[in-house]
Amino acid sequence: MSRFEFLAPCHFGLESVLKKEIVNLGYEVTQVEDGRVIFAGDESAVSRANIFLRTTERILLKVDKFRAESFDELFEKTKAIPWENYIPANGKFWVAKATSIKSKIFSPSDIQSIMKKAIVERLKKIYKIEWFPEDGNEYPIRVTFMKDEIMIGIDTSGESLHKRGYRKLTSKAPITETLAAALILLTPWNKDRILIDPFCGSGTIPIEAAMIGANIAPGMNRSFLSENWTDLIPKKTWYSAIEEANDVRRDSVEMTIQGYDIDGEIIKAARQNAALAEVDQYIHFQQRSVSDLSHNKKYGFIITNPPYGERLEDKADLPALYKEIGRTFNALDSWSYFIITSYEDAQKYIGRQADKNRKIYNGMMKTYFYQFMGAKPPKRENRENLH
């Protein structure tokens, strides 16, 4: 059985969540870096990581890592890699993305063209052909330069893993599925506790929570680029991973998850998305303003992504909105609430300092995940009070 290394990129600030997921899946984490986790596994790790991991953007098959300070060095070291172990003679291959940070080689387009030439030169000699038809399976290559060190991986996922397949309709500023899942996993919430998202938009946080509670693998209803790489990954590993995903799914679970939004049309979209994700039976969506939020149960969780003034003209409304959030949430004084926002004055207007504040980069935007912890329910609390 072959042993590979894999690169799993994630949002900056969420590496620990992804690491825990990978370990729980049974794989050895070999390195944690800013924005990615590197782990080892056999060929079945490709299918299982793509299907089961909730918080990574894609799974890359690690090809090599080396230093290069000139284009000549980049060409020669790329050419020395045994690309024939990965790419067949009819494979379609290209450097799909190149990034460079604090490195002497910094032009992405030059990196892409030089590496492509080097791979072609290598494979010409190996396959004894002058021209490549590139009419077979796709092998997109992604490279990252950091302080003159290059990491090279082949993308096994294709479309980003945040595209679970259920979100056909979205709100104006949607949170990605991978980020929503990571935020939930950062909290102590579990399926036995009430969860409300009062700014649910197209339903991503409630849907991801329901999928976590029912143990529905996020990738079980989509396809992946490497499914056809039968020279590298036996087809049976994909069938086996899907069978495993079906076996661990808990359809009979009971949960109380609620999603509210002031926009009635977006609530309709959220209901449709939940139905596509096969979790609509677990979630109650309703058109409701945050100021109308109340609950008769003593303990519960709020996890939400409120507006934070993506457009300049919206920023003037933020103090009043966050004061309203503070007034409403603090009335639920035994509840725990978790808010992701880029609004730097959020705590000031909420009127309370967060117990924890975690910086997370949502793309290039710095956001804060404020965690306000409520009282823990007594251990012998009647389960009715938790629902």
**In this predicted model, what pLDDT tens digit does every residue of 154-175 receive, in sequence order?**
999 999 999 999 988 776 667 9
Terminal Cα-to-Cα distance of the chain (whole angstroms):
47
Q: Residues 187-237: pLDDT tens digits?
A: 999 999 999 999 999 999 999 999 999 999 999 999 999 999 998 999 999
The greatest distance separating any two alpha carbons of the chain, rounded to the nearest whole angstrom, comes to 74
Above 80 in pLDDT, residue 282? yes
The answer to whether 61 touches 86, Cβ cutoff 8 Å, is yes
Above 80 in pLDDT, residue 385? no
Q: Residues 78-129: pLDDT tens digits?
A: 999 999 999 999 999 999 999 999 999 999 999 999 999 999 999 999 999 9
**What's the full length of the chain, in residues?**
387
pLDDT of residue 125: 97
Domains with residue ranges and CATH for the chain: 4-155 (3.30.2130.30), 177-218+228-386 (3.40.50.150)
The answer to whether 175 touches 247, Cβ cutoff 8 Å, is no
The three-class DSSP label of residue 266 is helix
Percentage of the chain lying above the pLDDT 90 cut: 89
Buried b (16+ CB within 10 A) or exposed e, 159-197: eebbbbebbebbbeebbbbbbbbbbbbbbebebebbbbb
Report the C-alpha gap between 33 and 44 in whole angstroms: 24
| Residue bearing the bigger pLDDT, 368 or 1 | 368
Above 80 in pLDDT, residue 379? no
- Give the full edge-to-edge strand order of the sheet including 4-9: 28-33, 36-41, 4-9, 60-67, 149-155, 138-146, 92-101
The number of CA neighbours under 13 Å toward the Cβ of 369 is 19
Q: What are all long-range contacts of 355-364, with beta carbons under 8 Å and residues at least 24 apart?
A: 358/13, 358/186, 359/13, 360/11, 360/12, 360/13, 360/14, 360/179, 360/182, 361/11, 361/12, 361/13, 362/11, 362/175, 362/176, 362/179
Above 60 in pLDDT, residue 378? yes
Three-state SS sequence of 327-360? HHHHHCCCCEEEEEECCCCHHHHHCCCCCEEEEE
pLDDT of residue 219: 97
The answer to whether 119 touches 83, Cβ cutoff 8 Å, is yes
Residue for token pair 């579990």: 190
Above 60 in pLDDT, residue 386? no
219, with CB counted inside 10 A (0-12, 13-18, 19+), is: buried
Percentage of the chain lying above the pLDDT 70 cut: 96
Q: Strands, E, within 114-205: which ranges?
A: 138-146, 149-155, 195-197
Neighbouring residues of 106: CB distance < 8 A, sequence distance ≥ 6: 100, 145
pLDDT of residue 51: 98
The answer to whether 54 touches 218, Cβ cutoff 8 Å, is yes
Report the C-alpha gap between 318 and 203 in whole angstroms: 22
Per-chain mean pLDDT for the chain: 94
pLDDT of residue 173: 65
> Which is nearest to 40 in space by CA: 26, 51, 52, 29?
29
pLDDT of residue 350: 97
Structure tokens at 36: 């990615």
| Residue bearing the bigger pLDDT, 380 or 151 | 151
Q: What are all long-range contacts of 324-331, with beta carbons under 8 Å and residues at least 24 apart?
A: 324/290, 324/291, 325/290, 325/349, 325/350, 326/350, 326/351, 326/352, 327/291, 327/351, 328/198, 328/290, 328/291, 328/293, 328/294, 329/293, 329/302, 329/372, 331/294
Above 80 in pLDDT, residue 387? no
